Amino acid sequence: MTALRVVLGDQCTAGLSSLEDLDPSADIVLMAEVMKECTYVPHHPKKIVLILSAMRHFARALEARGVSVEYIQLDDPDNTGSFRGEVLRACARHQPSRIVVTEPGEWRVLEDMRTWHEAAGIECDIRDDTRFLSRIQDFRAWARGRGAFRMETFYRAMRLQTGLLMDGKEPEGGRWNYDPENRKPLPRAVAAPPPPRFPPDAITQDVMALVAAHFPTHFGDVDGFALPVTNRDARVALADFVENRLAQFGDWQDAMRAGEGVLFHALISTSMNTGLLDPLEACRAAEAAFRMGLAPLNAVEGFIRQIIGWREFVRGVYWLRMPEYAGLNGLDAVRPLPGLYWTADTRMNCLHHAVSDTKAHAYAHHIQRLMVLGNFALLAGLHPDEVCEWFLVVYADAYEWVELPNVRGMALHADGGVMGSKPYASSGAYINRMSDYCHGCEYDVTRGVGEGACPFNALYWDFMARHGDRFARNPRMAMPLRTLSKMEPDKLAALRAQAAGFLAAMDAGERV
């Protein structure tokens, strides 16, 4: 009795649930590079290289364990271009008695997967993705009955569940969360060690050539690709982070610096999201560094919270609220995405660097994504659909389960406050405090109106004025709304006129 075990591109994990009871003498693993997945949005070429190369390496590793792998390459002449087409072709060839697969990371793929059973006329066993600490049904149960559920409450439950940084039933050090200590600006004298690079081997080079040939018009290119594509390299990357950057991860977590995209961040999301690195292993490695006195608690707690807190929480929210979540537009934002998100051609130095880094590396760190790219989109009222698609296209770690709640919810506040109790809106002052971008900018961050005034300032007050009524009863918005209410009407009118002028120029395609 042959089982056809289908492994998707972000499922390159030895302990995957769909491979658990694999019988190497009878079963076949199907792995297919399909055009539909490369083009349903025009992904950054480095993201496509990462996934296809990780798949090819993983297929080799399975074969080395004696597993029969049927591997369909993107340019195989008979490739139908879709998962469904390839599953049905494999069923016709091998006549399996059942299909076994691990649930996918995107709603659209799950909907497709649910049709395989009928189309193939055999059972399709869709298994839980056990690589996450919180199963979808666990999160559902946790969320049930909670009107507003918050990451922090969920995170504490995950700390208790995993035992990470626990001292019996109490949090290590007496506090659950050390975030207030993790918001320091980065002094000029502090240098960040360069992150490790993983030069492409022959397999990756083949994939790079394939991707460069097939997707020349996508945003970005394959040049300089140096991400881990195997479990071994992903673990090397983790060890390098723990040894060289973790100790300072907390202090400078929110800092940004022109020309240095990674700073003290871990650069492991691409590996965890493709299944090359176990999230719990990453957390345990960080905890061990703390226990050995190699990294302080604020850094280690902050890192672990991102993974067992935020990462698991956003996935829970995604599966709990899809498919309606993908259509939410709670702030009625309608402006089209301006071209500067693709060209980086803007006088705003912060956005210029964030987009340039993204294009070059398919990476930007959390604060660039949230407080520069996301903040501008929020303040300017860009349409969530267009912003979400951009974020899904440009980052090598972007899958809808993680991208959508972060963008539509956390950055754009379009979900009515599920992901955050208040919008992450800020003026230029925040960017100035946390980065050196403003020093090299054509705009003056200290001014709100007049030629050369920082656009974030006028846009911020315009946003507050536009949405003040919506947030009137939100205690976390009380301070800015109080300032707004005390502002001289003439001053507010001038700021709003400045914002309107800026947006009109941007909409007209002028270089702003």
Ligand X SMILES: Cc1cc2nc3c(=O)[nH]c(=O)nc-3n(C[C@H](O)[C@H](O)[C@H](O)COP(=O)(O)OP(=O)(O)OC[C@H]3O[C@@H](n4cnc5c(N)ncnc54)[C@H](O)[C@@H]3O)c2cc1C
If binding is defined by CB under 6 A, does position 340 make contact with ligand SF4? Answer: no
Selection from 220, 330, 195 nearest residue 271 by Cα: 195
Q: How far is the CB of 401 from ligand X (least distance, A)?
A: 9
If binding is defined by CB under 6 A, does position 272 make contact with ligand X? Answer: yes
Stretch that binds ligand X, among 167-175, 180-188, 265-273, 335-343 (CB under 6 A): 265-273
- Phi-psi region for residue 335, left (φ > 0), alpha (ψ -120 to 50) or beta? beta
Stretch that binds ligand X, among 106-114, 287-295, 363-371, 431-439 (CB under 6 A): 363-371
Contacts (Cβ under 8 Å, ≥6 apart) of 336: 382, 383, 386, 507
Contacts (Cβ under 8 Å, ≥6 apart) of 489: none
Q: Per-residue string for binding with ligand SF4, 447-486, x by CB under 6 A?
A: -------xxx------------------------------
Query: 489: helix, coil or strand?
Result: helix
User: 296 to 315, contacts with ligand X by CB under 6 A?
Assistant: 303, 306-307, 310-311, 314
User: 392 to 431, contacts with ligand SF4 by CB under 6 A?
Assistant: 428, 431
Cβ atoms of residues 245 and 266 within 8 Å:
yes
CA 494/CA 205 separation, integer angstroms: 55
Q: How far is the CB of 350 from ligand SF4 (least distance, A)?
A: 3
If binding is defined by CB under 6 A, does position 349 make contact with ligand SF4? Answer: yes
Cβ atoms of residues 134 and 316 within 8 Å:
yes
Query: 420: helix, coil or strand?
Result: coil
Contacts (Cβ under 8 Å, ≥6 apart) of 36: 81, 82, 83
Cβ atoms of residues 12 and 59 within 8 Å:
no
If binding is defined by CB under 6 A, does position 350 make contact with ligand SF4? Answer: yes
If binding is defined by CB under 6 A, does position 267 make contact with ligand X? Answer: yes
CA 316/CA 258 separation, integer angstroms: 34
If binding is defined by CB under 6 A, does position 221 make contact with ligand X? Answer: no
For tokens 């076949």, the residue is 28
If binding is defined by CB under 6 A, does position 445 make contact with ligand SF4? Answer: yes
Q: How far is the CB of 431 from ligand SF4 (least distance, A)?
A: 4
Q: How far is the CB of 258 from ligand SF4 (least distance, A)?
A: 9
If binding is defined by CB under 6 A, does position 432 make contact with ligand SF4? Answer: yes
Query: 432: helix, coil or strand?
Result: helix
CA 109/CA 84 separation, integer angstroms: 10
> Nearer Cβ to ligand X, position 347 or 366?
366
Q: How many residues bind ligand X (CB under 6 A)?
A: 28
By a kind-dependent CB cut-off of 5 to 8 A, residue 349 interacts, out of ligand SF4, ligand X, none, with: ligand SF4
Q: Which residues bind ligand X (CB under 6 A)?
A: 265-269, 272-273, 303, 306-307, 310-311, 314, 365-366, 369-370, 374, 391, 395, 397-398, 402-403, 406-407, 410-411
